[in-house]
Chain A
Amino acid sequence: MIEFLTVYAENWASWWPQIRAAIWVTLGLTGFAYVLAMVVGMLIALGRMSRSALLRGLCKGYVEFMRGVPTLVILFLIYFGLPSFGIVFDAFWAGVIGLGLSMGGYIAEVFRSGLQAIHYGQREAALAVGMTPVQAFRYVTLPLAFRIILPPMLNMLILLLKDSSLAALITAPELMLTAKDLASSTFLPMHLYLLVGVLYLALTLPMSFVARHIEARMRLGAAR
């Protein structure tokens, strides 16, 4: 056990700068992909509630497709497949786009169920007092839905952070790939993979505690 730990002490100075840089890449991937996923999710959710049957069908198809196809396949399609059509992204942005599009399908469902849980009378009342449809959405429906949406949205963020490790397989220089590179150059796979495991836990555990706390509080609010 002590021997195992001394390896970390000996190598820490050489590992840490690379690992620290990789943590930022992982966080960047997660952050940008999350923003993209929210934009895509909101558009798809609104599309699924639109009056046009064609738009509804297309958006439903999008959700079904993203629900049925592995994120890794989406990443490979964007990073390796799109260049055949002359569209080239570097690994980081291919990762952001792939993760964002894939997660967008799930977030669309979260948004939709949140928005549909709000009684239509709320919107009608807002329109009746003279708000425009956009204002009614912005000031009445959305804030009400926010409360229902928040806990699952936090869980989606945790999922996304974990899924960002898939970008290693399209050579985005994030935590997993950095660990893999270091492991093959130092021949210490157990040490490095355990280390990134601990780092991922250090990122995800606080988030899941916050998510659970908020979830419990929201439930309290709903019971009142």
Chain B
Amino acid sequence: MTLVEKIELYSLTLLKGAGFTIGITVITFCVAVALGLLFGAIKAFNAKRELSSLLSFTDAVLYLSGRLLVLLINVYVEVFRGLPALAVLFILYFGLAYAGLQLGSFAAAVLGLGLIGGAMLTEVFRAGFGSIHQGQREAALAVGMTPLDALRHIILPQTWRITLPPLANYAIGLLKDTAIVSAIAAPEIMFFARNLVTRTFDTEIIYLLVAVIYFCLSFPLARLADRFEARARAGVR
């Protein structure tokens, strides 16, 4: 086989894994955004509630349960920001199987990377929500919006400027992190690459192709992140 033929053949095989890589990135991204939005919102809105505004017993209960929730969220964030992704994946995939709960490699990958991403995005969204003045929400409620309407139409649109750049950077990091789920046998690009290598021994060609494929996947995301960053900076001026 000539070099060109090899490259063609290997690329076709590797691109089969690219579909899985993209799929796992998109689904994990959605999971992480959902977790981050929820926990970030809880953290941001509980930070703004103050003791002095307690009027009744229900207020006190709400305040304390809010504090407890925030504490739990903080523990979650610290733990999943401090753990290597590989350790989380191994616990979920090999550890849980030992405990009698066999997760598939796809489920383990989405859950593991999603929990890690959620911890990261919790802080991103907290900062985003925290930057919006309370008056914005109060004004929305005053003109008759429901709290959900206020969130959807008033608060969220204003947080995007702050949250979009780190979100785009997170997406790039996530795309790259999916390379390690080959270690729990998920059939993505690296997994196909390792199989190809054991069959053909063309190590350097195959891993260079892998690098090129990842680069092509992440390059558009990187440009998007740059544009968001430029726009966010322009808005401050």
Contact = CB atoms under 8 A, between A and B. Distances in A.
A194 B82 contact: no
B84 A162 contact: yes
A204 B84 CA distance: 10
A76 B203 CA distance: 9
A193 to B, nearest CB: 4
A69 B173 CA distance: 10
B98 interface: yes
Q: Identify whether the interface residues of B are mostly helix, strand, loop, or mixed.
A: helix
A169 B215 contact: no
Interface stretch (B66-74, B88-96, B139-147, B152-160): B88-96
Given A189-B90, A189-B95, A193-B95, A163 B84 contact: yes
Contact of A73 (B87, B99, B214): B214
A197 B87 contact: yes
B91 A193 contact: yes
B216 to A, nearest CB: 8
B94 A183 contact: yes
B176 interface: yes
Contacts of A169: 86, 180, 183
Nearest to B183: A169
A208 B78 contact: yes
B222 A67 contact: yes
Interface string A59-82: 000001101111111101100111
Give the secondary structure class of A's interface: helix
Interface residues on B, range: 35 or more
A76 B207 contact: yes
Interface string A128-139: 000000000000
Interface in A149-163: 158, 162-163
A183 B210 CA distance: 30
A176 B87 contact: yes
A165 interface: yes
Contacts of B172: 67-68
B176 A162 contact: no
A68 B219 contact: yes
A93 interface: no
Contacts of B96: 190
A196 B87 contact: yes
Contacts of A72: 179-180, 182, 190
A80 B204 CA distance: 7
A205 interface: yes
B204 A77 contact: yes
B125 to A, nearest CB: 18
Q: Which of B78, B207, B210 has the most CB of A within 10 A?
A: B207
B10 to A, nearest CB: 13
A204 B82 contact: yes
Nearest to B82: A204
B54 interface: no
A70 B208 contact: no
A85 interface: yes
Contacts of A204: 81-83
Nearest to A4: B99
Given A64-B219, A77-B204, A81-B207, A69 B91 contact: no
B179 A70 contact: yes
27 contacts: A67-B172, A67-B218, A67-B222, A68-B214, A68-B219, A69-B211, A70-B180, A70-B190, A72-B179, A72-B182, A73-B214, A76-B190, A80-B203, A81-B203, A84-B204, A85-B204, A162-B83, A164-B84, A165-B84, A166-B86, A169-B183, A176-B90, A180-B90, A193-B95, A201-B79, A204-B82, A205-B78
Interface of A: 64-65, 67-74, 76-77, 80-85, 158, 162-166, 168-169, 176, 179-180, 183, 187-190, 193-194, 196-197, 200-201, 204-205, 208
Q: Sort A-B residue pairs by CB-CB distance and give the 9 closest, nearest first.
A: A70-B179, A190-B95, A165-B84, A204-B82, A81-B204, A70-B176, A189-B94, A68-B218, A162-B84
Given A71-B179, A180-B90, A189-B98, 11 more contacts: A64-B219, A65-B215, A68-B215, A68-B222, A72-B190, A84-B203, A165-B85, A190-B91, A197-B83, A200-B83, A201-B79
